[in-house]
Amino acid sequence: MHSNEEIYPLENELKWLAETLPCIKTPTIVIQGMEDELVSPGNADYVEEALKSAERLDIRRIDGLNHFVPWRRPGLIKDAILDLQAWELEAK
């Protein structure tokens, strides 16, 4: 597969994302490795701005981690899931 074949569909996906993110109201946690070379850490800033409608939002920027957070620090994922559950219980 030529690299451009992966990029061309991305334009439509990014447009859809730009339209959809502001509509999300669900409590959300974003975990961003600050050494990520596959997804720019600046994307966390974009998501933070775009998710202004989220009932609750926590952007977790993790220094020293790259794209592979779930494999390198699975506890961070577990903690995020537990935090989402706690938020749900608080809301009831």
* Domains identified in the chain and CATH numbers: 3-91 (3.40.50.1820)
- pLDDT digits over 25-77, tens only? 999 999 999 999 999 999 999 999 999 999 999 999 999 999 999 999 999 99
The model's pTM: 0.84
- The predicted structure's pLDDT at residue 4: 67
Q: How far apart are CA 3 and CA 37, in angstroms?
A: 17
- The predicted structure's pLDDT at residue 2: 60
Percentage helix, strand, coil for the chain under 3-state DSSP, each rounded to 5: 55, 15, 30
